[in-house]
Every structure is written in C-alpha cells, then in structure tokens.
Structure 1
C-alpha cells in the first residue's frame, strides 16, 4: 500500500486535498490485537509480579516495593527519550513499525527472564529482579510507545480514529480478561504443584502469543501520513528540546498525564491488593479469577455506551460522574463482605461505572495532540504518547509499591497472616481506589479543553485547507 507523505510541521494536512483512505476491517482488527498483546505481556506484570516476588521468589516485601519504584523512576527518564526518537525516525520499515519489528523478540525473552527465579541468596535475588524489571520496562517502552503513536500515522480521519480506539479498548479489555482469568489456572496446570515452574511456563506462553500478535500488527497496519526524511533531518537537538518544552507548556496534556497516572496507580494497587483480599479476607483464592476478570469485562461492556456518554457530557463531566458512581459502588460493596453473590454484583456495577475513565483518557490524549499542533504548530505524537505510556507503567508500579509498603507496615508475612493484617488488607482494598478516585476528580476539574476543542478543530482544518 502506498504511503502519503505530508510535508512541513503541520502533518495533519493531506497532500493534494485527497480524501483520507478508509481503513479495512483487517487493519482495524490487527491494530486492536496490539493492545491485546500489550496487556497480555504487561498485564501479568501488573497483576501477578508483586505476588510472584513476595510469595514465589520470596523476596522481602519492602525490597519488592523499592524495586518497582526504582524501575519506574528509570521509566520517567527513558520514556520521553524514546518518544523523541520515534518522532525523528524514518527508515525503510517506516517511522514507528521498526521499533515493533526489532523490539518484540527481546521483549518476549525478557518477560520470561523476569518470571525466572534463580537459586541464589536474597541479595542476588533482589539484584536479579531489579535488573530484569528495568530492562523489561525499557523494552516494553520501545515497543509500546511506537505502537500508540502508530494510530495518527494510519489515518487523519476523526471517525476512523474513533473506530481504531474502540478496537484498541476491546483489545485492552480482552487481553486483561485473558490474563486475570487464565494466569492462576495456567500456573496450576503448568506447575504441577510448583508455582515457580508454573509462572515461568505461563510467561513463556504469554511471550510467544504477544510476539505473534505484534507481528500481525507490523504486517497489517500501514503508515500513511509521515514526515519526509528531509524534514526529519531538520530536527536537531535544539528542536527536540523545543518539543519537550512545548509538551510541558501543554496544559491539557499535563492534566491528562496526571489523570492517567492516578488511573493506573488505582489499577495497579487494586489488582495487587485484590489477590491478597481474596486469599486472606475472603479466604477463597478462586475469587481472584472472578473479581479480576470482571474488572475488564466491565471495560468491555462500558465501551458500548462510553462514546455516547462522552458525546453528551464531554470528558470532564463524564469523568466526575463516572468516578463518583464508582466510589459509591465500592462503599456499598463493603457491606456485602461475606455474601459473595452481592459482593460480585456490586464489584461489577462499580467497575462498569468507573470504566468510562479508561475510554475517556484515550480521547483526552488525542485532543492534547490537537491542542499541541494548534498552540505550538507541532503534533509530536511520539513524545506526547510517551506521557501516557509513562503514566501506565509508573502508575501500575506505584500502585503495586503502595500495596507492598502498606503490607510491610501492617506486618504481612506470607507464612502467617494475623487478624490485624487481615483487617488492614480489607481497609486497603476499599480505601485506596476511593482516595485515588477523589484525586482524579480534583485533577480533571482543571481539564479545560472540552469547550475549546471544537474551535481548535475548525482552525486546524482551515490551516490545512490553506496549506
């Protein structure tokens, strides 16, 4: 398929005024598979790595929290750098696709190594865990940031981007459902009584599946709207610095990154504490494979009505309503501990209400790219998407670290869980997501782009028409 090259900083223009190509169903489906693969490979990290470190590898819980925080501080530095490289890349394989092509194999290998537990002293276990987790995060960024930046290179049509976002939301939900529903049974199946072996072989399966799915993305998704190499060469170091400066002057983007950060801290902490909640409070480990998948089933269900809610109320009001109903649902759920049927029902309802934020954050990120072009005459998809990638990884890690440190303070030991620790786990399960939801509401109050965005779109279209 031919590539339309768009010249100049205003990459939203279509050369010759031609009508944007309509994407086929195979290409849309393939793009959604990328998020399935991403959540397959990173979902097992966010959902089960804390438990693997503390209860399988037997790494001290406080050290586990430190590992996760150090790794994410590293991400805070490296993700914007990768985003900048993506913005400046032009090869015979494309702008974003070479990162997927050459990054997915090392990422798959490192996922397996992360779930390998060597027979060494505690000190060397900690060193091994830190190194593998750092490298895994780096390789995930190398693949996932370009994958996110691929969408605006595939199409400039607003409706087509909305459809791609829907496929991506579906892939995200199904990937997480698969991970949360299947990981524990697969560990039991592959382990034969050994969780250590079970997690290792399960990670091999997820790594192979992720590799295959990302190769499908590479093969079927086309870059149509890219800057020519001549323009890329003009982007000197000073230009890269100006790109970063414009990002940090982009108020809607900063608000979106902070909002997404709270979203993924909440997700990371909820996933981590849910495992301990099911085992130590409900005394029913099988509930892990009920509650965690239902979170993502809720995302899939909400994807059918989220576009209508966002169209009616826009991002700020929709998120305030969503987070408020989610928090109320959790409060009601607290009173049904001991009644698993009602507890599951309220969990599902609360997460359907809260899942609107997952769909909204994609739109907020895309709108902040439009704002960047309108305000600073730069789209910088790679750099700005790196902010979202940063939020996902740092947020999930901070969420896991919050749970890890909280359990350490409460005196958690895998061999013996006292009633006091059990009560602490119960409090953490409900208090952490409610507090973070309140913080999200406060942050989204500063999102001022809902009313301005239609004007931005009109002015950008006028610029493109005159280009």
Structure 2
C-alpha cells in the first residue's frame, strides 16, 4: 500500500516536470536576442562567403571547392572535440556560459578578417583565405556548440525546452535576414556614393575608395566595400546581442562531469549507438541542399536572372549601376522569399508542435518543399528564357523555403530528445557532443551547398576571374540560356531533391507520443535517484 502511494506520488511529481516553467521571462528574451545576434554573424558567412571568394577575391574555383571540403574534414575532428571538452569540464561560471564571453571577440574579429581583401598576390591570398576560414570555423564551433547546448541545462521540461528552441531559432532566422537586407541597401546606395567618393578631393576618402573598389574603364565595382561594411555591422551588433545574454541565462540542470573510465564505452561510441540521434544527423546531411536557397541567391542573381533596362544602350557607369541594382534586387527577392517561408514556418512551430509530433512535421513539410521546388524549376525555365516574369516564381519559392524554418527548429529539439533517450537508456548524457554533432551537420550542410555551387560553375564552364578581368560587372544576359538555367537550378530542383531524400531516415525515428512521455517521466525519476540537482 505504502509502495503504491509512493509510486503515485512519484508519478505526480514527475508529471509536474512536463507542466512546470523553469525559464524566467527575461532570461527567455535575452537568450532569444543572443540567438538573433548569432544568426547575423553566421548568415554573413553562409550566405556570402562563396560569392566573396569566387567573384570578389576571384580565387581559383578548385581551391574554393577544396577549402570548403577539407575544412569540414577538420570540423569532423574539431566539433566532437569541443563537445567532449564541454561534457568533461565545468568551470565556476558554469559548463556552457563561459564560452559566450570568451569566444565573442575572436569571432567578431575573424568575421571582419574573412571579408577583408588584403593586397596580396594570388598564392598569399589563398593562404590568407584558407587560414582565416578554418580559424573562423574553429572559433565559431567553440561559441555555437555551448550556446545551443544551453536549452538542455536551462530546463528539464521537454515542452518548455522545445518552445525555447523554437522561439530562439526564429530570432536566429530574423538575425540571418539582417545581412541580406544590408546587401539590398548597399546595392542601392553605394553606386551613387562611390561616384561621389571618386570625385572627392579628400585624401582619406580617396584612399578608402581606392582600397575597397575596382575601376575598369568607366565602370566601378564596389563589391569589396559592400562586403566589408556588411561584415563589420554584423560582427559588432551581432556580438553585442550575443554576449548580452551571459548575465541572464541560468544553468539549472546540473549534471556531474563524466570522466573516462577504463572498460566503459567512449563518448563517441555512445553517440553512434544512439539510433535516434544518428537518424537526425543523417536527416540533416541529406537535407543540405536546402542551404542553397540562401547561399546560391547571389549567384543566381548574378548569372541567371537580370531585371532592368536594355544594357546595350547604356554607358559604362550606367551599365555597372544597372547590373548592380539588378543583382541587389533579385538576390533580395530570393532572400525575402526564403525568409518569408522560413519565418512563417518558425512562427507557427509552437502551435504545430502541440498538435503534431516532430516526425510528422518534418515528413509533411519536406515533401511539400519538394513539390514547390519542382514547380519552381518548371516555371523557372520560362523565366530564364525571358518568356515569363521572374515574379511568378515568388509563391513557389516561398513554399519551398518552409522546410528551412521547420528543420531549423525541429532538428535541435530532436537532438535534445535524443539526448534524453541516451540518458534514459545509458545513464550518460553527452550534451556537448550531441550539440556538436548538430553544429557539424549545419556547417557540413553549408559547405556541401557551397561546394555544389562551385561544382556548377566548373560543370558549365563559368569562370568569374576571366569575365571580370574584361569588365567590372557582368550581366546574366551575357551568358547562354543553358548556363543561366543551370545556375537557376541551384535554387529550384537541387534543394527539392535534397528535401525529399531527408524524409527517408524519418521513417525509422520513433521518439514520439507515448514513448517520449514515458522517457521523460522515467528520466526524471532516475535523475532524482542519482541526486542530479535542478535549481
């Protein structure tokens, strides 16, 4: 009788975990604002680094391709290593929080250096780009893995954790749109500003103009100036928002550090034996093509679609300005479509999570994204051929971007649920290493998307260095129909196929419904028995 009463009381206490709110409102807001700042910094790299390397620095395409892929090989070592460090060490400031402060200045500095174009010969320029890119990836890992591990220790309530991740990822997405908005503004403002700077008698103005522009004949290319201004803004404002969360975030779920014990499975082996976690990782890798919707937008704007007047009737300066405005307008439209689809999905995620499980949401939205991408590809053929307006693609592009928002939220929540499963089954919770896997998948996805773009350049024989040596600006209409449609496929059928493939591993994912509820209740009981503190 007493045993029955004890079990009933225990069940009631553990059910409270599913209902109780642990995260304070200000703490919630500051964590989300930090996510916004982080999104600004990451978006500069993920959206524009391929364009900067290929069309501004004019680095060899093969070099850029190898850099992206080899850097990910290093990340395969670096990211898990960072996760292990987090899992094995707790400082007096906490397990995750110290990295928010210590990594903020280095990541801001490296973001600036990544988009700074030094006066070096081609070989030295490749060395510079390679070193800065790899260092940026390492420091970003040291900032990203602990930050997105925080929801695991901020609350033991999986529902509250899912909501926190959902809202924070939404803010992160908003932050990622800021550099895109700045790109449009720069495209509209810089042509006139650069013309005035060129005519200025001020030595400092002339020095700045000469450093960050390229003049070929009567045309001005100001891409260097555009990117350095965007990078500085995103780095400074992004880091301020990111680091401001430090005093407000609290680590409540205090799990003792795990030391390696001879004869016990290693941390990595526990990761590989956690089937739900592996399925989420495979899903993330297979869906890598979705990153092209953002990463390829500038490339498509440069070499697939032109919006503007007849270039053949324009002078050199007029032509340069018209091409620049077209690139800015088209890339912004693509970015806005991506943002609308992504943010729309993310805003509805809290409501969707209450009605459907993660598996249902992923399979449905990714299938929808594939259908929309297929329609974009069909309509896009006639758009590129000049028979239909580019604006007809907008609704299809928006729908195809819905999975971006869904996966941006759900993947992190599913990782957290998988770590609950691991702790429930083995007694070990590799929070840092599990989050590192998600960080690695994100970087791998962006690298594969960038690699896909570079491979497309090589496949169709598109060489920016040769073209831009003759003119400061090249229009999409200067290319053949085949080349233009091939570039357009980077935001249509290619990401669509990737989304469809990502649904395959979800067929075996089963951390849903009653099984997940059982894990939550029993895990709370096991934590209580082990004396794990939640405060």
In terms of mean alpha carbon deviation, does 216-225 or 102-111 score higher? 216-225
Are 2:334 and 1:291 aligned? yes
Question: Which among 353, 363, 366 is matched to residue 413 of structure 2?
Answer: 363
1:248 is aligned to 272
Q: What is the Cα deviation at residue 95 of structure 1? A: 1.2
Q: What is the Cα deviation at residue 404 of structure 1? A: 0.7
Q: What is the Cα deviation at residue 331 of structure 1? A: 1.9
1:6 is aligned to none
TM-score by length of 2: 0.78
How many pairs are equivalent?
447
Contact 1:325–1:354 (8 Å) recurs in 2? no
Query: 1:197–1:324: structure 2 CA closer, same or farther, 3 Å change rule?
Result: same
Q: Distance in 1 between matches of 2:297 and 2:239?
A: 29
Query: 1:304–1:420: structure 2 CA closer, same or farther, 3 Å change rule?
Result: closer
In terms of mean alpha carbon deviation, does 419-428 or 238-247 score higher? 238-247
1:127 is aligned to 127
Query: 1:181–1:225: structure 2 CA closer, same or farther, 3 Å change rule?
Result: same
Q: Distance in 2 between matches of 1:466 and 1:316?
A: 32
Contact 1:320–1:441 (8 Å) recurs in 2? yes
Are 2:434 and 1:384 aligned? yes
Residues 43-89 of structure 1: CA deviation (Å, up to 9, x unaligned): 11110000000111111222111111111111111000001111122
Q: Distance in 2 between matches of 1:418 and 1:301?
A: 36
Q: What is the Cα deviation at residue 305 of structure 1? A: 2.6
Question: Which among 488, 507, 530 is matched to residue 426 of structure 1?
Answer: 488
1:437 is aligned to 499
Q: Distance in 2 between matches of 1:127 and 1:361?
A: 35
2:516 is aligned to 453
1:407 is aligned to 457
1:301 is aligned to 344
Q: What is the Cα deviation at residue 237 of structure 1? A: 7.1
Q: What is the Cα deviation at residue 176 of structure 1? A: 1.6
Residues 277-296 of structure 1: CA deviation (Å, up to 9, x unaligned): 22322214212112113312
Q: Distance in 1 between matches of 2:104 and 2:183?
A: 21
Q: What is the Cα deviation at residue 395 of structure 1? A: 1.0
Q: Distance in 1 between matches of 2:271 and 2:444?
A: 19
Q: What is the Cα deviation at residue 353 of structure 1? A: 5.7
1:115 is aligned to 115
RMSD: 2.4
Q: What is the Cα deviation at residue 261 of structure 1? A: 2.2
Q: Distance in 1 between matches of 2:114 and 2:290?
A: 21
Q: What is the Cα deviation at residue 421 of structure 1? A: 1.6
Are 2:179 and 1:175 aligned? no
1:329 is aligned to 372
Contact 1:27–1:221 (8 Å) recurs in 2? yes
TM-score by length of 1: 0.89
1:236 is aligned to 260
Residues 223-266 of structure 1: CA deviation (Å, up to 9, x unaligned): 22223xxx43x613759962221111001001111112233x22
Question: Which among 222, 225, 228 is matched to residue 253 of structure 2?
Answer: 225
1:312 is aligned to 355
Q: Distance in 2 between matches of 1:224 and 1:256?
A: 26
Contact 2:152–2:161 (8 Å) recurs in 1? yes
Larger radius of gyration: 2
Q: What is the Cα deviation at residue 98 of structure 1? A: 1.2
1:462 is aligned to 525
1:348 is aligned to 398
5+ residue gaps in structure 2? 1-12, 195-220, 308-326, 468-477, 531-535
Contact 2:158–2:417 (8 Å) recurs in 1? no
Question: Which among 264, 271, 281 is matched to residue 257 of structure 1?
Answer: 281
Query: 1:97–1:353: structure 2 CA closer, same or farther, 3 Å change rule?
Result: closer
Q: Distance in 2 between matches of 1:86 and 1:289?
A: 39
Question: Which among 182, 193, 196 is matched to residue 224 of structure 2?
Answer: 196
1:9 is aligned to none
5+ residue gaps in structure 1? 1-12
In terms of mean alpha carbon deviation, does 124-133 or 289-298 score higher? 289-298
In terms of mean alpha carbon deviation, does 215-224 or 408-417 score higher? 408-417
Contact 2:293–2:338 (8 Å) recurs in 1? no
In terms of mean alpha carbon deviation, does 59-68 or 290-299 score higher? 290-299
1:157 is aligned to 157
Query: 1:92–1:48: structure 2 CA closer, same or farther, 3 Å change rule?
Result: same
Contact 2:87–2:432 (8 Å) recurs in 1? yes
Contact 2:39–2:176 (8 Å) recurs in 1? yes
Are 2:289 and 1:266 aligned? yes
Q: Distance in 1 between matches of 2:436 and 2:404?
A: 24
Question: Which among 381, 397, 404 is matched to residue 447 of structure 2?
Answer: 397
Contact 1:278–1:288 (8 Å) recurs in 2? yes
In terms of mean alpha carbon deviation, does 372-381 or 174-183 score higher? 174-183
Query: 1:238–1:151: structure 2 CA closer, same or farther, 3 Å change rule?
Result: farther
Q: Distance in 2 between matches of 1:239 and 1:74?
A: 28
